[in-house]
Amino acid sequence: MTRFKELDPLLHSQLRLAIVSLLISTETAEFTYILEQTGATAGNLSIQITKLKEAGYIEVTKKFMNNYPQTLCKITPLGQKKFVAYVKDLNDYLNPDKPDK
Amino acid sequence: MEKEEKMMSGEESLRIITEMINKTKVNIRQGSFQLLFWGWLILVCSMSEFLLYKFTDFTHPYYVWFFVVPGVIVSMVYGFTSGRKARVRTYGDMLYMWTWMGFLIASIVLFIVHSKSMETVAPYILLLAGFPTFVSGFVIKFRPLIIGGITFWILALIIHFAGPSIAPLGVPVAMLTGYLIPGYMLKYKVDHDKI
């Protein structure tokens, strides 16, 4: 359990990492799209999105589209920065002899 | 992805990142509509102009190009409404859309600059049109569209150097090679791959 202590604990979780990885290459993504792509349950996804939102990694906007509620998620500059740092730390861990300086 | 706090290995983290990034694709369904819509519109306009010029006494055969104006409106309304309905908007979608918007703006400028010699505007339009077609092919990773963009540039050269009897057919041929053939191939791919 100690070998990943340097990795961002908020991102080092399957579903949260999947959410942020999806959002890193999108401008915006709807809740149902993330649900479909990650294969998570709506309840669990909602909890993890709230955690990421509270940490300032993502923005969540709610609006109506043809009378149906729509939840749009977007990664923030902080979220992008944290994701890049996570990938760098991961790379350092996977390639300890070739640190990415 | 239910056991949220389960320990992940480095390889697993990397797999999740790669898998999720690969899932975000450009909305190519809209791309096929636009290619077919514009391919047919320009094909009909260019052939009508050619036939009116060749077989009638109509003094202003280029009037048929005014159909492009409602075409721009239809295309933009379709793009706007399907963009609003899309559940995800990737950076690829944005690059795709703004490349074509850039082409539209460049074309308007070209028509204004070239307004007094419209009979020689075709190779310049193909020169411009080749660029978004070529780039879009790379954005959606679809080779027929990349080749289509290249054919626009080849046909621009052919129109420039060919005699007046061949040149008017350059634009309809370009619509076939650059928009309609790649457009139908893309539509087939979308319908069969359920993208």
What's the pLDDT score for residue A1? Answer: 45
State yes or no: pLDDT of B107 exceeds 50.
yes
Q: What does the alpha-carbon distance between residue A1 and residue A23 come to, in Å, rounded to a whole number?
A: 28
What's the pLDDT score for residue B3? Answer: 46
Q: What is the mean pLDDT of residues B134-153?
A: 93
State yes or no: pLDDT of A101 exceeds 50.
no
What's the pLDDT score for residue B7? Answer: 66
Lowest average pLDDT, out of B8-17, B63-72, B111-120, goes to B111-120
Tell me which chain B residue has its CA closest to the CA of residue A26: B90
pLDDT band at B148 (very low <50, low <70, confident <90, very high): very high
Q: Does A61 touch chain B (CB under 8 A)?
A: no
Q: What is the mean pLDDT of residues B85-94?
A: 83
State yes or no: pLDDT of B29 exceeds 60.
yes
What's the pLDDT score for residue A2? Answer: 45
Mutate to test the interface with B, among A14, A15, A48 (most CBs of B within 10 A): A14
Q: What is the mean pLDDT of residues B41-66?
A: 86
Domain residue ranges of chain B, discontinuous segments joined by +: 26-193
Contacts of B68 (CB under 8 A, 6+ apart): B41, B42, B45
* 0.90 exceeded by pTM: no
Q: A14-94 adopts what CATH topology?
A: Arc Repressor Mutant, subunit A (1.10.10)
Q: What does the alpha-carbon distance between residue B153 and residue B130 come to, in Å, rounded to a whole number?
A: 6
Give the A window 64-93 contacts with B, CB below 8 Å: 65, 87, 90, 93
Q: What does the alpha-carbon distance between residue A86 and residue A11 come to, in Å, rounded to a whole number?
A: 7
Residue B118 C-alpha from the chain's centroid: 22
Residues of A in contact with B24 (CB under 8 A): 22, 25-26, 29
Q: What percent of chain B has pLDDT over 70?
A: 90
Nearest to B21 among A13, A15, A24 (CB): A24
State yes or no: pLDDT of A3 exceeds 80.
no
Q: What is the mean pLDDT of residues B79-91?
A: 82
State yes or no: pLDDT of A50 exceeds 90.
yes
The 10 Å Cβ neighbour count of residue B177 is: 20
Q: What is the mean pLDDT of residues A50-66?
A: 92
Between residues B63 and A24, the one the model is more confident about: A24
Helices (H), chain B: 10-23, 28-55, 68-85, 91-113, 122-139, 143-161, 170-174, 181-193
